[in-house]
Amino acid sequence: MNAAAASLPVIIVGGGFSGAMLAARLAELGQATVLIERGEQVGLGVAYSTPLDDHRLNVRAERMSARPDRPADFTDWLALHAPAFADPNGFAPRRLYGLYVQARLAEAEAAPPGLIRRVKGEAVRIEGETVILADGARIPGRAVALATGNPPPRPAVAGDGPRRIADPWRPDALAAIAPDDDVLILGSGLTMVDVVLALQAQGWRG
């Protein structure tokens, strides 16, 4: 790599947990980054965007530190900011984990300042080490890290209709479901559990 390229930032596409924490770790090493996120919020992604306290982490709090050098980092943060959930063996709301990730990113942005540049936009193409956004902006880097997470769910069953919800993670995806509506959920994993909890929280009695 020539000297000019080496002075460029690392471009990180995707500002969920992985992108935000990669930027934080690289800042600690003195490496500048550009963190590109298409959504309104950085550090949350699908998993930690939920506002519901019933949507819990599926890993005990004591194992959710985002800092390998500080294993108790998340439980210490909970003790300060949400003491009711500071039990190391407990399963804290995912919403709190999102706030924790955002706090750790903000900490990295402050010390030293100026190493992490946030860009709001959707990356649509990569040419060499240059990332091109949907609005045509070109962001050159020394390397590109893809931290784009999982794509939104695609319908696993053919067919369509106004009452079919293909992506239950979309904001307000369940809002049109009335308390006595019959709901058929296809799939029986963690997303199903979250959907049932979200429906109950909005007063659904089905």
Ligand X SMILES: Cc1cc2nc3c(=O)[nH]c(=O)nc-3n(C[C@H](O)[C@H](O)[C@H](O)COP(=O)(O)OP(=O)(O)OC[C@H]3O[C@@H](n4cnc5c(N)ncnc54)[C@H](O)[C@@H]3O)c2cc1C
Least distance to ligand X, CB of residue 119, Å? 9
Do the beta carbons of residue 45 and residue 20 sit within 8 Å?
no
Least distance to ligand X, CB of residue 142, Å? 19
Q: Which is nearer to ligand X, 154 or 205 (CB)?
A: 154
Residue 185 CA to residue 171 CA, distance in Å, equals 18
Q: Which is nearer to ligand X, 2 or 150 (CB)?
A: 150
Binding mask 125-154 for ligand X (x = CB under 6 A): ----------------------xxxx----
Residues whose CB is less than 8 angstroms from the CB of residue 184 and which lie 6 or more positions away in sequence, other chains included = none
Do the beta carbons of residue 19 and residue 145 sit within 8 Å?
yes
Indicate the pairing of strand 130-133 with strand 123-127. Answer: antiparallel
Residues whose CB is less than 8 angstroms from the CB of residue 180 and which lie 6 or more positions away in sequence, other chains included = 205, 206
Q: Which is nearer to ligand X, 13 or 177 (CB)?
A: 13
Q: What is the separation of C-alpha 153 from the centre of its chain, rounded to a whole number of angstroms?
A: 15
Within residues 152-171, the interface with ligand X by CB under 6 A covers none
Q: Which is nearer to ligand X, 96 or 177 (CB)?
A: 96
Report if residue 96 touches ligand X, rule: CB under 6 A.
no
Q: Which is nearer to ligand X, 54 or 158 (CB)?
A: 54
Within residues 32-61, the interface with ligand X by CB under 6 A covers 36-39, 45-47, 57-59
Least distance to ligand X, CB of residue 149, Å? 2
Task: Please report, to the nearest 10 degrees, the dihedral formed by the alpha carbons of residues 74, 52, 197, 63 taken in order.
Answer: -10
Within residues 66-95, the interface with ligand X by CB under 6 A covers 94
Respond yes or no on whether the N-terminal peptide bond of residue 151 is cis (omega within 30° of 0). no
Query: Site residues (CB under 6 A) for ligand X?
Result: 13-19, 36-39, 45-47, 57-59, 94, 122-123, 147-150, 191, 194
